[in-house]
């Protein structure tokens, strides 16, 4: 009996080791044409903290998300890099971490499995998408950028300029795509895999508050300025209603973050207020 228990334990440990070894994580950036998203978009401190204790099988996506989500340089690029990662590392369970517009590109793949022959295998391998501040219903600031007013210079560092992706994230445009091409919003079919969002609800930029310096104080100031044109519940770039518009809301920032701190749109892609640890523990 004792030998049987020992053998059973070894078998279970073996299955656990195989499962852990085949788990992978993909970090999918937001709007922009990234060539070094590990350093320039997420930072190594965030990526490495999320992966601590979760093995070393991860990929940081670098694509041209200034294009429409369905474009070959956007969803096609993402599908190619995810496929190479899955095949190259023997991934059987994939956790995808997206930020902002990256959630839309990933939703496109999950909503349109017949569009590209690579999509079904990606969907099949995906366990969940953790969508950090996804722009699921767009933002009025995208309308402002396209109209060419003051937001164009204010938001160039964050959103970009009058690109296809910015046009796509106008509220009216996203309403059309959600109603006709994308799954996961109210009244539409459910997404085939879990899509859960982390919602940023506020921006703090007091120079006397050390928390305002996480991810760059100047970014907080800019986001607090643009927040004046958004709902009272927003992360300085997206209204909470947009962030929680697809799939399910995993949590609103203050309910889980260290010290109940809000996550601005910039902070929700960095290791601010224990966000990295929350994600690490989940995956």
Task: Indicate the fold that domain 24-282 takes in CATH.
Answer: Rossmann fold (3.40.50)
The mean per-residue pLDDT over the stretch 115-126 comes to 98
Over residues 48-103, the pLDDT tens digits come to: 999 999 999 999 999 999 999 999 999 999 999 999 999 999 999 999 999 999 99
pLDDT band at 6 (very low <50, low <70, confident <90, very high): very low
Mean pLDDT, rounded, of the chain: 90
Residue 170 in this model has a pLDDT that exceeds 70: yes
Find all residues with CB under 8 Å of 164, minimum gap 6, and list them: 66, 67, 68, 71
Q: How far apart are CA 268 and CA 270, in angstroms?
A: 6
Residue 160 in this model has a pLDDT that exceeds 70: no
Share of the chain above pLDDT 90, in %: 81
So what's the pLDDT on residue 5? 47
Of 254, 104, 221, nearest to 173 by C-alpha is 104
- What is the phi-psi region of residue 262: left when phi exceeds 0, alpha when psi lies from -120 to 50, beta otherwise? beta
The mean per-residue pLDDT over the stretch 172-194 comes to 98
So what's the pLDDT on residue 20? 54
Over residues 20-34, the pLDDT tens digits come to: 569 999 999 999 999
Residue 10 in this model has a pLDDT that exceeds 50: no
So what's the pLDDT on residue 15? 41
The mean per-residue pLDDT over the stretch 235-262 comes to 98
76's tokens: 């096609």
So what's the pLDDT on residue 21? 60
Residue 157 in this model has a pLDDT that exceeds 50: yes
Of 229, 227, 281, nearest to 251 by C-alpha is 281
Find all residues with CB under 8 Å of 168, minimum gap 6, and list them: 68, 69, 104, 138, 142, 174, 177
Main-chain phi, psi angles of 207, to 5 degrees: -65, -15
Q: What is the pTM of this model?
A: 0.91
């Amino acid at each position: 009996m004792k030998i049987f228990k020992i053998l059973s334990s070894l078998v279970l440990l073996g299955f656990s080791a195989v499962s852990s070894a085949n788990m992978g994580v993909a970090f999918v950036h937001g709007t922009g044409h990234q060539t070094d998203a590990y350093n320039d978009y997420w930072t190594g401190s965030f990526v490495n903290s999320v992966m601590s204790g979760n093995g070393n099988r991860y990929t940081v996506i670098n694509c041209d998300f200034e294009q429409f989500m369905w474009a070959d340089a956007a969803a096609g690029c993402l599908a190619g890099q995810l496929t190479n990662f899955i095949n190259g590392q023997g991934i059987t369970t994939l956790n995808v971490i997206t930020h902002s517009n990256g959630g839309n590109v990933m939703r496109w793949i999950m909503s349109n499995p017949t569009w590209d022959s690579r999509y079904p295998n990606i969907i099949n391998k995906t366990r969940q998408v953790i969508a950090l501040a996804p722009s699921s219903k767009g933002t009025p600031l995208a309308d402002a950028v396209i109209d060419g007013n003051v937001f164009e210079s204010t938001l160039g560092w964050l959103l970009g300029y009058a690109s296809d992706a910015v046009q796509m994230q106008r509220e009216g445009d996203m309403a059309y795509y959600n109603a006709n091409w994308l799954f996961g919003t109210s009244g539409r079919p459910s997404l085939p895999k879990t899509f859960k969002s982390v919602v940023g609800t506020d921006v703090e930029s007091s120079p006397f508050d050390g928390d305002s310096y996480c991810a760059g104080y100047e970014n907080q100031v800019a986001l607090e300025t643009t927040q004046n044109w958004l709902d009272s519940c927003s992360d300085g770039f997206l209204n909470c209603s947009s962030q929680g518009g697809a799939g399910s809301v995993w949590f609103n920032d203050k309910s889980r973050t260290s010290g109940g701190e809000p996550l601005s749109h910039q902070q929700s892609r960095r290791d601010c207020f224990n966000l990295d640890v929350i994600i690490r523990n989940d995956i």
